[in-house]
Amino acid sequence: MPYQAPTGTADLLPEQAWRWDAIQRQAASVFSRYGYQLIDTPIFEQLDVFVRGIGEATDVVGKEMYLAFSQHAVEAIAAGQAPKAKDTLALRPEQTAGVARAVVQHNLVPPGGAAIKLWYAGSMFRHERPQKGRLREFHQIGTECLGAAEPSADAEVILMLMDFFEGLGIPRASMRLLVNSMGDDACRPAYRQVVREFILAHADGLCPECVRRADSNPLRAFDCKNPDCQAVLAAAPLITDSLCPQCAEHYATVRQLLTEAGCDFEQAPRLVRGLDYYTRTVFEVQVTDGLGSQNAIGGGGRYDKLLAEFGGKPTPGLGFAVGFERICLALDAAGVAAPVLPLPEVFVAAVDTQARAAAFALAGQLRSAGLRAELDHQNRSLKSQLKAADKSGASWVAILGPDELAAGQLTLRHLASHEEQRTTTQQAIELIRGER
Residues within the interface to ligand HAM (CB under 6 A): 94, 96, 126, 128, 133-135, 138, 140, 142, 144, 274-275, 296-301, 319-323, 325-326
- Does an H or E element contain 177, and which? strand 175-181
Strand order in the sheet with 396-400: 373-375, 346-350, 396-400, 410-414, 420-423
Cβ neighbors of 17 (< 8 A, separation 6 or more) are none
State the nearest-atom distance from the C-beta of 290 to ligand HAM, in Å: 13
Of 246, 115, 92, residue with least CA distance to 183: 246
Mapping DSSP to helix (H, G, I), strand (E, B) and coil, where does residue 69 land?
coil
Of 124, 127, 129, residue with least CA distance to 139: 124
Q: Considering beta carbons, is residue 59 or 197 the nearer one to ligand HAM?
A: 59
Q: What is the spatial distance between Cα 239 and Cα 189, in angstroms, rounded to a whole number?
A: 11
Q: What is the spatial distance between Cα 290 and Cα 251, in angstroms, rounded to a whole number?
A: 31
Q: Considering beta carbons, is residue 198 or 222 the nearer one to ligand HAM?
A: 222
State the nearest-atom distance from the C-beta of 351 to ligand HAM, in Å: 52
Q: Considering beta carbons, is residue 167 or 402 the nearer one to ligand HAM?
A: 167
Maximum CA extent, the chain: 95
State the nearest-atom distance from the C-beta of 312 to ligand HAM, in Å: 16
Cβ neighbors of 268 (< 8 A, separation 6 or more) are 178, 179, 180, 284
Q: Considering beta carbons, is residue 170 or 355 the nearer one to ligand HAM?
A: 170
State the nearest-atom distance from the C-beta of 158 to ligand HAM, in Å: 12
Q: What is the spatial distance between Cα 429 and Cα 398, in angstroms, rounded to a whole number?
A: 10
Q: Considering beta carbons, is residue 95 or 423 the nearer one to ligand HAM?
A: 95
State the nearest-atom distance from the C-beta of 47 to ligand HAM, in Å: 17
State the nearest-atom distance from the C-beta of 425 to ligand HAM, in Å: 49
Residue nearest to ligand HAM (CB): 323
Q: What is the spatial distance between Cα 298 and Cα 166, in angstroms, rounded to a whole number?
A: 13
Q: Considering beta carbons, is residue 19 or 196 the nearer one to ligand HAM?
A: 19
In 212-345 the beta strands, taken as DSSP E runs, fall at 266-267, 281-287, 296-302, 317-323
State the nearest-atom distance from the C-beta of 220 to ligand HAM, in Å: 13
- Count of alpha carbons within 13 angstroms of residue 13, beta-carbon side: 3
Q: Considering beta carbons, is residue 182 or 410 the nearer one to ligand HAM?
A: 182
State the nearest-atom distance from the C-beta of 30 to ligand HAM, in Å: 16
Burial profile 69-106: b = 16 or more Cβ within 10 angstroms, e = fewer? eeeebeebeeeeeebeeebbbbbbbbbbbbbbbbbbee
Q: Considering beta carbons, is residue 55 or 298 the nearer one to ligand HAM?
A: 298
